[in-house]
Amino acid sequence: MTRTRSEDRRGYFFVLPTVIVLVVVAVYPMILAAWISLRRVVIVFHEDHFVGLSNYAFLVRDPRFWTALGNTTYFTVVAVIIELLLGLGFALLLHTSFRGQKLFRAAILIPWAIPTVVSAKMWSWIWNPEYGLISRTLPNSDINWLGMPGYAMHAAILVDVWKTTPFVALLLFAGLETIPTVLYKAAAVDGASSWRTFFFITLPLLRPTLVVVLVFRTLDAFRIFDAVYVLTGGGPANTTETLSIYAYKMLMRSGDFGYGSTLAVATFLCVMAISAIYIRMLGMPSRSQRS
C-alpha cells in the first residue's frame, strides 16, 4: 500500500513541532557554542574578537584539560562497570519470585527517584568527617573522604552508583521479562545447571538490552556534573574535576566564554566519538552476515 502526498504532508506536519523544539534547544546552542569557541570573549574586560583556532590550540597544550579528561574517563569506566554488574544482579533478583517482591521493587527505585542534587547533598553530609554517618560508624577513622585526593573520586563514584544502579536494574529487568520462559523449562529438562542457563540463555538473549544500557549510561556518566559539583566542586586539587565542571568554571567563574565554549565543544566531540565507537563496534555485521 503506497502513501499519498497528502499523507506525507500530514506526517511532516506532526513531526514539525518536534523538529522546531530540537533546533531551538539543541542545534542552535551547539552552533552558537562552536562560534563563540572561535572568539576571545571575556565579559569582565569587554573583550570580544575573533581568534580562530587559538582556543583549540591552547586546549591541546592545557594540562588541566587532559587531567579533567582523565578524571572523566576514569569516573565513567569505573561507575558504568559497577552499575552494570550490580544492576544485573538486582534485575535477576527482581525476576525471581519471593515474599515481599513488590515491596522490594518499589524500594529499589527510591534512590533513582530522588533528585541528583538532593542525593549528592545527602551523601555530602554522610561523608562529613565531623558529624557524618561514616565517621560516627567508624569513630577511629580520620579520613576526609571528600577532602583527600584518591578518596574523593571514589566517594563520588559510589554516590553515582547508588543513584543510577536502580535505573540500570529496571531496564535489565524489562529485558529479562521478554525472554520466553519455555527456554528455561527446556534447559531444566535437559539438566542444565543455573550457571549454564545464565551464560547460554540469559546473557545472549539479554545482550541487546545490555548494549542499550551500556550506551545510555556511558554517555550520561561522561557528562557528569551535578553530583560531583555538589560533593566536591571539582576538588581537592582538581582531582575530581570533570570536563563539564572545568567548562562551567571557565564560563561562570572566570568569565572566559571563548575558552569555556571550547571546552563545551570538546566535551560534545568526546561524546560523539564515544557514540561513533559504540555504533562501529556494536553495529558492525559479523563475517557470516557479510558473506
| Alpha-carbon span 65 to 243, nearest angstrom | 7
What is the average pLDDT across 220-245? 90
Where do we find the cell 561513533? 276
| Alpha-carbon span 258 to 250, nearest angstrom | 9
**Pair 234, 222: CB distance under 8 Å:** no
- pLDDT of 87: 92
Question: Does residue 155 carry a pLDDT above 50?
Answer: yes
**Pair 256, 150: CB distance under 8 Å:** no
Model pTM score: 0.85
In the Cβ-directed half-sphere of 112, how many Cα atoms lie within 13 Å? 15
- Residues present in the chain in total: 291
Amino acid at residue number 102: K
| Alpha-carbon span 91 to 175, nearest angstrom | 9
Residue 2 pLDDT level (bands cut at 50, 70, 90) = low
Q: Which of 213, 192, 271, 245 is nearest to 65 (CA)?
A: 245
Give tens-digit pLDDT for 238-272.
Answer: 899 999 999 999 988 888 899 999 999 999 999 88
Amino acid at residue number 290: R
Domain boundaries, the chain: 54-290
Question: Does residue 95 carry a pLDDT above 70?
Answer: yes
Where do we find the cell 545482550? 207
Pairing of strands 47-50, 39-42: antiparallel
Where do we find the cell 527505585? 109
Residue 179 three-state SS = coil
Q: Which residues pair with 39 in a beta bridge?
A: 50
- Joined together, the cell numbers standing for residue 89 give 544482579
Residue 139 pLDDT level (bands cut at 50, 70, 90) = low
Residue 284 pLDDT level (bands cut at 50, 70, 90) = very low
Class of domain 54-290: mainly alpha
Give tens-digit pLDDT for 165-213.
Answer: 999 999 999 898 888 888 888 888 888 788 888 888 888 888 888 888 9
**Pair 90, 166: CB distance under 8 Å:** yes
Q: H/E element holding 254?
A: none
pLDDT cut 90: percent of the chain above it: 33
Question: Does residue 220 carry a pLDDT above 70?
Answer: yes
- pLDDT of 88: 92
Question: Does residue 79 carry a pLDDT above 50?
Answer: yes
**Pair 146, 207: CB distance under 8 Å:** no
Task: Pick the range with the lowest mean pLDDT from 76-90, 148-162, 176-190.
Answer: 176-190
